[in-house]
Structure 1
Amino acid sequence: MTIDKTVKKKVTEEWLNVFCQFSEFHQNKLYKVIEPCLVGIELIKSPFTETYSPYFVIYPLWKKDVKANLEYPILLKDFKNEKGFQLDISFENHSAFFKDVIECVKLQIPLALDGSVSFTKLMSVLDDYSKSPPLNAAPNSYLQALLEEAKLKISLYIGAPEAQNLLDQISRKSWETNHFKACGVEVSQWFQSLQEVITNRYSFLQQIEVNKQDKKIAKLQSSVLTV
């Protein structure tokens, strides 16, 4: 049975009524701006059944345009039920389970939704994500490097010294060069690109501001990132 679009719209509205700190970016994407990032909840439909699962997401705002920023999330983490399984909610019986689902999500959402967001807490969330499956299986892989790159760029939004300190830590890691090469990247060139971003911090900040002025981003609610 195919679920009507009006049912899916109602589901999104119910999520927004609970998490009113987010704004609707798309029918199943609820976001807010936290300075250099988009943070939110996505209601991702199963490809096999008429059910959906909520995910906590973080996207960058420093790439060349909004489309590029939304190509690949920095963080994509599902929510679990009381038994430790991924939440899987039927569109048809949504109302019967929604209250319990919301309780699970509220307990697991990793960032405060009201007021400002701590830079330290945001970095801690990304650190925890790096230690969870499947990323923890390959701690020196290029996928881990991409997460470190995101952390560096969030740090760069705060200041160049913070970013440089993180780059120094990154350069001391024993990265899996073969995995980088399999992804078409040389470790030395990657280091160089990170240093160039730090050197050109003004352009980096400028690009974030350009993206935040996009009409779809500008309508979203926002929070300040504090040190």
Structure 2
Amino acid sequence: MEIDKTIKKKVVEDWLNAFPLLSAYNQNKLYKIVGPCLIGIELIKSPFADNYSPYFVIYPLWKSDVKTNLKYPILLLELKNKNGFQFDIPYAKHSIFFEDVVYSVKKQIQFLFEKNISLEKLMSVLDIYSRKPPLSAAPTSYLQAIVQEAKFKIALFVGVSEAQDVLKQINNINWDENHFKACKVDLNEWLQNLQTALFNRTEFLKHIEANREDKKMAKLQSSELTI
């Protein structure tokens, strides 16, 4: 059954009022730009009922274009209620549950309410995410490497020395080369590409700026990524 558009609009308005630093990218994606990333909340409708669940997301802004950036999130984290279960909110009863939802989200993702975000805090969020299932089950896999590469790119946005610190950590990991091959990625080439990126930081920054200036992106609020 199609959900009434008025109800959907009210749901988005309530989320934007509760999280004033986010902007509506579309009717279920609420983002802000933080340095080289998009950070925010997605309200994902259940395929089985007229319910939705909020997810915390982080996307890159350093890939070829906006569509490619939004294809796969760096982080997709289900937000949970006080009992540790994923929220499953009926659209028709949204107003009844919303206060408790906002309270829980504030406790889980505090920096959604901070104007500017430190590099240390953003890295910490990614570190915690990388140590949770399913990533924790394969700490040397290519899936884990994707998160570590994101940390490197975020650090590179801030500065070369910050990126070098992350790259050193990456080089010290005994990566599962077979898993890289299974994902059609050459481990040595991947490592070399990270090293090369250090020398091409100016182009990297220009590319991010071009994506940030996209028509839809330019409408979003933005925060500084601080040291």
Could you say which TM-score interval applies, normalised by the shorter chain?
Answer: over 0.9
User: Do the aligned partners of 2:21 and 2:221 also contact (CA within 8 Å) in 1?
Assistant: yes
* 2:223 alignment partner AA: S
Tell me the secondary structure at the aligned position of residue 82 of structure 1: coil
Cα distance in 2 for partners of 1:113, 1:104 equals 13
Matching residue of 1:109: 109
User: Do the aligned partners of 2:54 and 2:87 also contact (CA within 8 Å) in 1?
Assistant: yes
Equivalent positions of 1:139-218 (< 5 A) are 139-218=139-218
Tell me the secondary structure at the aligned position of residue 126 of structure 1: helix
Cα distance in 2 for partners of 1:68, 1:110 equals 28
Tell me the secondary structure at the aligned position of residue 215 of structure 1: coil
Point out the more displaced range, 192-201 or 203-212.
192-201
Cα distance in 2 for partners of 1:120, 1:114 equals 14
Post-superposition shift, 1:112? 4.7
TM-score, normalisation: structure 2: 0.97
Matching residue of 1:87: 87
User: Do the aligned partners of 1:110 and 1:125 also contact (CA within 8 Å) in 2?
Assistant: no
* 1:189 alignment partner AA: E
Q: RMSD of the alignment, in Å?
A: 1.1
Post-superposition shift, 1:107? 1.1
Post-superposition shift, 1:6? 2.5
User: 1:43-66 CA distances to partner (integer Å, 9 max, x unpaired)?
Assistant: 011111111100111111111111
Post-superposition shift, 1:110? 4.4
Matching residue of 1:38: 38
User: 1:182-214 CA distances to partner (integer Å, 9 max, x unpaired)?
Assistant: 100011010011111111111100000001111
User: Which stretches of structure 1, 4 residues or more, deviate above 3 A after TM superposition?
Assistant: none
Post-superposition shift, 1:25? 0.4
Cα distance in 2 for partners of 1:213, 1:34 equals 13
Cα distance in 2 for partners of 1:32, 1:101 equals 20
Cα distance in 1 for partners of 2:169, 2:68 equals 27
Q: CA 1:23–1:112 in 2, change beyond 3 Å: closer, same or farther?
A: closer
Unaligned runs of 5+ in 2: none
Unaligned runs of 5+ in 1: none
User: Do the aligned partners of 2:40 and 2:112 also contact (CA within 8 Å) in 1?
Assistant: no
Matching residue of 2:99: 99
User: 1:68-118 CA distances to partner (integer Å, 9 max, x unpaired)?
Assistant: 110111111111111111011001111111111111111111425232111
Tell me the secondary structure at the aligned position of residue 93 of structure 1: helix
Tell me the secondary structure at the aligned position of residue 57 of structure 1: strand
Are 2:137 and 1:137 equivalent residues in the alignment? yes
Cα distance in 2 for partners of 1:110, 1:94 equals 22
TM-score, normalisation: structure 1: 0.97
Instruction: Report the number of matched residues.
Output: 227
* 1:100 alignment partner AA: D
User: Do the aligned partners of 1:38 and 1:58 also contact (CA within 8 Å) in 2?
Assistant: yes
User: 1:151-179 CA distances to partner (integer Å, 9 max, x unpaired)?
Assistant: 00001011112212211221121111111
Post-superposition shift, 1:12? 0.8
* 1:118 alignment partner AA: S
Matching residue of 1:67: 67
Cα distance in 2 for partners of 1:17, 1:167 equals 39
User: Do the aligned partners of 2:135 and 2:143 also contact (CA within 8 Å) in 1?
Assistant: yes
Are 2:51 and 1:51 equivalent residues in the alignment? yes
